[in-house]
Chain A
């Protein structure tokens, strides 16, 4: 038995019923047990895949005929860019789930996702700068791709700050969810900025309609690194969400204990 407080009890009765699979994990006890089983495997898989992928990227993949060894930054930079955008899509989906179905874990998931998303977006920008300096001769240019990713970084930071800015967590979650949904408009701008505008940043070379414009000797380690970083990202977010569920339970128990003691002290 896991008597984590009835977090769905205050949910709006007018809210549509969530799909059954989603509703099952509204029970924090069930979520903790299921995620507790998955997390060690997820972490082990992330470490194993990253070990293979990064060794492949650093030691076995060939240098680029133009960029030399600098191309190895791609194996970190590109997965961070994919995670920054894919993670934001996940944030928007969690926010929509929280707003429409009042799913309590979706709020917590979004709250724990945004700092991790901000970190991977910062990594994308930093590794892009480290790649840009030797290739372009500058750390930064205000071209459409770089600027739209910077906006994405501020959206992640804004969500993380907004959800923590209110005394009532529900109000913060709702404000953050609205911001996350508005910010989705930035995703196609990031993706298509290199097509819509003349940018210093190169166009897409992997995720394009035709075949990837990359030799398999570089493409395969890139995909392995992307998988490894995605597993690591998922493991970190899942671990943070588990911790947040337990911390909420602690707050509820401490509040109940304080009320009991207060009631006992009053004649």
Chain B
């Protein structure tokens, strides 16, 4: 019987691309938000990064 390696390869590639894409997308959103917050609210950003603040809302 043929081994259908192409089907196996496409399955693994789809999973890698999907999870890689989701992870990259989340990381880029996170980085953009972090930079914007650092501009808008530097004090809270510093607290969130662990360099000060008590964390209460």
Interface of A toward B, CB cutoff 8 Å: 1-4, 6, 27-30, 32-33, 36, 43, 54, 58, 63, 68-70, 72-73, 76-77, 80, 116, 119-120, 122-123, 126-127, 130-131, 133-134, 229, 232, 235-236, 239-240, 242-243, 246-247, 249-250, 253-254, 257
CB A118 to nearest CB in B, in angstroms, measures 10
Question: Is the beta-carbon distance between A133 and B7 smaller than 8 angstroms?
Answer: yes
**By the criterion of a CB under 8 Å from any partner CB, how many residues of chain B are at the interface?**
37
Q: Are B30 and A6 within 8 A (Cβ)?
A: no
For residue B22, which residue of chain A has the nearest CB?
A236
Q: How far is the CA of A250 from the CA of B32 in the complex (A)?
A: 11
Given known contacts A3-B44, A6-B57, A119-B22, A69 and B3 CB-to-CB distance under 8 angstroms: yes
**Contact among A77, A80, A239, A250 for B37, CB-based, below 8 A:** A250
- CB pair B26–A243 under 8 Å, yes or no, is yes
Among A3, A30, A119, A242, the residue within 8 A (CB) of B18 is A119
What residues of A have a CB within 8 angstroms of the CB of B56 in the complex?
1-2, 27, 29
Please name the 8 residue pairs, one residue from A and one from B, whose CB atoms are nearest each other, closest first: A246-B33, A239-B26, A243-B29, A69-B3, A1-B53, A243-B30, A253-B40, A134-B4
Bitwise interface map of B from 13 to 57 toward A, beta carbon under 8 Å scored 1, else 0: 011001100110111011001101100110110011010011111
Instruction: Report how far A29 CA is from B7 CA in the complex, Å.
Output: 46
Is A131 a contact partner of B57 (Cβ separation < 8 A)?
no
Would you list 20 pairs from A and B whose C-beta atoms are within 8 A, ordered by A residue?
A1-B43, A1-B44, A1-B55, A2-B53, A3-B57, A27-B55, A69-B3, A76-B12, A76-B15, A119-B18, A130-B10, A239-B26, A240-B25, A243-B26, A243-B30, A246-B30, A246-B34, A247-B33, A249-B37, A250-B40
Spell out B's residues near A (CB within 8 Å): 1-5, 7-8, 10-12, 14-15, 18-19, 22-23, 25-27, 29-30, 33-34, 36-37, 40-41, 43-44, 47-48, 50, 53-57
Residues of B within 8 A of A80 (CB): 15
